[in-house]
Chain A
Amino acid sequence: MREFTYTKAADAAEAVRLAAAGARYLGGGTNLVDLMREEIERPTALVDVSGLAQGITEHPDGSVEIGAATRNTAVAAHPRIRRDYPVLARAIVSGASGQIRNAATVGGNLLQRTRCPYFYDVAARCNKREPGSGCDARQGFHRTHAVLATSAHCIATHPSDMCVALVALDAQVHILGPAGARVVAVADLYRDPGETPHLETVLGPAELITAVRLPRAVDGAVSTYRKVRDRTSYAFALVSVAAVLRVVDATVADVRIALGGVASRPWRARVAERELLGAPAEPDTFKRAAEAEFRSARPLPDNAFKVSLAPRVVADVLKGLSG
């Protein structure tokens, strides 16, 4: 690990000041410390933001605001989250382990880096780690990689479970930067890889995530999260599905679907949603809509299974929610 200085931020404004001077934000450290040890990340200064806002505030308009330093476990355990946003509680506890969730912050989870083995292997070529060096995943082991909105330069996925639920819930990220505060939808936080896979989000230099806001839960809707992985627990998703569904008179009145493990970002399944809205809430409809989402998929030999697996999981999750 390279040397670095360490400062605990007293408040968000101080954190942004230090970051503008070159420091890197540190949350629970469960991803950054690991990457620093591998010297994939090489910050020379850290500003610890894990002691900043950790509250969960219930606003009068029905929305819920979660401070960026709230630990993943605390979010999943909060009675309001468990009652009104089960998809979020279930997504969080599907990820990592009890120990890691106790340390991981909401801000750090949003900005965790990919688990592509070639990104982690400093002897391999990786355009994300070293722009312009190439991508060894295309010709290598890529069964865990992305099939939607990939580019010739990168096929890595965003590994988070929590973020998939946040995208399905239309959550927003509150940001503070040197130029002031702004709000971005979680769905718009990430970029597709294109020719610049090392640029992963729309955050500018020194921008700090201060909170995540969940809009008021959809009245009468049910929601859940399902993760498919190589072993039952403590493994990243091959495919995961977050879904919010409201059925009225056997018709889909409201539906939001997001997918993990299939793209460089938590993927909002807008094509499927459009097909489903107003359609009969039946297994056939679910299946057709989910398949439509993957018409634009560009799989490689080893991850082609995701193109048939993901729609089946979506259809089954919707069937479970409507039944």
Chain B
Amino acid sequence: MAHEGISTAEVTVRVNGQSRSADIDTRTSLLDLLRDRFRLTGTKWGCNQGGCGACTVLVDDQRTLSCLMLAVQADGREVTTIEGLGDAAALHRLQEAFIAHDGFQCGYCTAGQICSGVALAGEAAAGVPSVVTQDLRAETVELSVEEIRERMSGNLCRCGAHNGIVAAVSEVYGS
């Protein structure tokens, strides 16, 4: 509740397998909590309004925009950021594919792209349709290039590395 005139709350989030707590102003977004309080700066601050996907993280394994989620809403939940997917010593196979296919140039959108790519594979396997899915009744969706393009459309890349990004996701998860 309010103290010193500012509404605060205590949140505890499991981040990349580790439980972490912070006392925060209720206005803090999950993005700001991760970057400013937990110093996990792999997740990027792009538009801060849901338009670019740079801030994509996994919340309970679902890809989510951390800029539009209040940190208090993540209380008690499991958050995975790019730091939890792989590191320089042991890259995630999608990270390796991004390198192999030139899936980035400046790299600003890359953490969001990779979190999104990892999660979309799970969505397709669970039968979540997309706007280009022909057979809505299919139990799982095969990830054609067209499906990957559509499912990655919430992640913009100002450097225009989209072809490499789609190639990388396709190599790892494609049909």
B49/A37 in contact, CB under 8 A: yes
A98/B69 in contact, CB under 8 A: no
B153/A29 in contact, CB under 8 A: no
Interface residues of B in 19-63 (CB under 8 A from A): 25-27, 29, 48-50, 53, 56, 62-63
Option from B49, B129, B150 in Cβ contact (under 8 Å) with A34 = B49
Q: CB of A102 within 8 A of chain B? A: yes
Option from A6, A50, A77, A97 in Cβ contact (under 8 Å) with B128 = A77
Q: Which residue of A lies closest to B28 (CB)?
A: A1
CB-CB < 8 A to B56: which residues of A? Answer: 99
CB-CB < 8 A to B27: which residues of A? Answer: 1, 3-4
Q: CB of A280 within 8 A of chain B? A: no
CB-CB < 8 A to B2: which residues of A? Answer: 5
Interface CB pairs A-B, < 8 A, 17:
A6-B9, A29-B70, A33-B69, A34-B49, A73-B123, A73-B128, A77-B123, A77-B128, A79-B127, A83-B137, A94-B131, A96-B154, A97-B153, A98-B63, A98-B120, A98-B151, A99-B154
Q: Which residues of A contact B (CB under 8 A)?
A: 1, 3-6, 8, 26, 28-30, 33-34, 37, 46, 48, 50, 73, 76-77, 79, 82-83, 86, 89-90, 93-94, 96-100, 102-103, 227, 232-234
Q: CB of B130 within 8 A of chain A? A: yes
Chain A CB within 10 Å, residue with most, of B62, B116, B123:
B62
**Chain B interface bracket (under 10, 10 to 19, 20 to 34, 35 or more):** 35 or more
Shortest Cβ distance from residue A30 to the other chain B in the assembled complex, whole angstroms = 5
Q: Which residue of B lies closest to A82 (CB)?
A: B136
B137/A82 in contact, CB under 8 A: yes
Option from B70, B133, B151 in Cβ contact (under 8 Å) with A6 = B70
A102/B7 in contact, CB under 8 A: no
Given known contacts A34-B68, A89-B136, A97-B153, is B26 in contact with A5 (CB within 8 Å)?
Answer: yes
In the bound complex, CA of A102 to CA of B2 (Å): 31
Q: CB of B172 within 8 A of chain A? A: no
CB-CB < 8 A to B81: which residues of A? Answer: none
Q: CB of B1 within 8 A of chain A? A: yes
Contact with A along B51-85 (1 / 0, CB 8 A): 00100100000111100111011010000000000
Shortest Cβ distance from residue A231 to the other chain B in the assembled complex, whole angstroms = 9
A33/B68 in contact, CB under 8 A: yes
A233/B153 in contact, CB under 8 A: yes
In the bound complex, CA of A234 to CA of B9 (Å): 34
Chain A CB within 10 Å, residue with most, of B5, B69, B120, B151:
B69
CB-CB < 8 A to B65: which residues of A? Answer: 30, 99-100, 103
In the bound complex, CA of A94 to CA of B56 (Å): 20
Interface residues of B in 143-175 (CB under 8 A from A): 149-151, 153-155
The 4 closest A-B pairs by CB, nearest first: A97-B154, A233-B153, A77-B128, A82-B136
A30/B50 in contact, CB under 8 A: yes
In the bound complex, CA of A1 to CA of B75 (Å): 20
B26/A6 in contact, CB under 8 A: yes
CB-CB < 8 A to A100: which residues of B? Answer: 50, 65, 68, 154
A99/B26 in contact, CB under 8 A: no
